[in-house]
């Protein structure tokens, strides 16, 4: 093999040409149930909720729309998971390509789903999330497993309070009119 003047050989350039130069690995392995047992229990037992969460965080849908669509798309979850893997991989410069995404999802859809969910929670916890709905600054207020539910429910009371304020004003004005 020819050598460069500075003594390096050509093998060092192979690392960059493999496509993994600036790309980082996923935060968990494909079969890493021992690292996050709660995730491995949540994803299979409540798969529509997982799809709901994916549609919200990865594809930027509002909670109510993603809930309805999550229920409808549950039978097609391998396609949704593959698309989500691709979105996250591209946005966060993770190792792999579309063939790896498809193979991972076809090999074990639930393991792939757990890996995607772990990556979402890791990136949001570390404040590196670049897709829809980035987390608020500071430490998380809730466990990552209940945070989506708390976030979805916390928006509803604010809307209902403004409606109740309007109805109170209307009833107050009606009372004054009666007098």
Backbone angles phi, psi at 15, to 5 degrees: -65, -40
Please give the Cα distance from 160 to 55 (Å, whole number): 25
Query: Is it the case that residue 99 has pLDDT exceeding 90?
Result: yes
Query: Is it the case that residue 88 has pLDDT exceeding 90?
Result: yes
- Domain ranges in the chain are 34-140
Residue scoring higher pLDDT (79 or 172)? 79
Which pLDDT value is given to residue 87?
Answer: 94
Tokens 């004003």 sit on residue = 169
Query: Is it the case that residue 160 has pLDDT exceeding 70?
Result: no
Give the confidence band of 78 by pLDDT, cuts at 50, 70, 90.
very high
Q: State the chain's mean pLDDT as an integer.
A: 76
Which pLDDT value is given to residue 31?
Answer: 82
Which pLDDT value is given to residue 131?
Answer: 82
Which pLDDT value is given to residue 80?
Answer: 94
Over residues 13-66, the pLDDT tens digits come to: 333 334 456 888 998 888 877 777 888 888 888 888 889 889 998 998 888 888
Contact 51, 73 (CB under 8 A): yes
Query: Residue 76: which of 57, 99, 54, 61 has the closest Cα?
Result: 54
Query: Residue 77: which of 114, 40, 126 has the closest Cα?
Result: 114
Other residues' Cβ atoms within 10 Å of the Cβ of residue 115: 26
Over residues 124-157, the pLDDT tens digits come to: 888 888 888 777 776 666 666 667 777 777 765 5
Tell me the longest C-alpha to C-alpha distance in the chain: 101
């Amino acid at each position: 093999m020819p050598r460069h003047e500075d003594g390096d050989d050509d093998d060092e350039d192979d690392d960059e040409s493999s496509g993994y130069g600036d790309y980082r690995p996923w935060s968990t392995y494909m079969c890493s149930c021992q690292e996050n047992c709660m995730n491995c229990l949540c994803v299979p037992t409540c798969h529509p909720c997982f799809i709901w969460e994916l549609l919200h965080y990865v594809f930027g849908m509002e909670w109510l729309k993603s809930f309805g669509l999550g229920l409808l798309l549950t039978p097609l979850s391998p396609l949704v998971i593959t698309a989500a893997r691709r979105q996250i991989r591209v946005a966060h410069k993770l190792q792999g390509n579309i063939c790896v995404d498809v193979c991972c999802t076809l090999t074990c859809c639930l393991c792939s789903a757990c890996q995607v969910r772990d990556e979402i929670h890791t990136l949001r916890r570390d404040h590196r999330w670049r897709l829809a709905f980035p987390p608020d600054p500071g430490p998380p207020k809730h466990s990552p497993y209940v945070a989506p539910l708390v976030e979805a429910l916390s928006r509803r009371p604010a809307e209902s309070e403004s409606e109740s304020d309007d109805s109170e004003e209307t009833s107050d004005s009606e009372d004054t009119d009666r007098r």
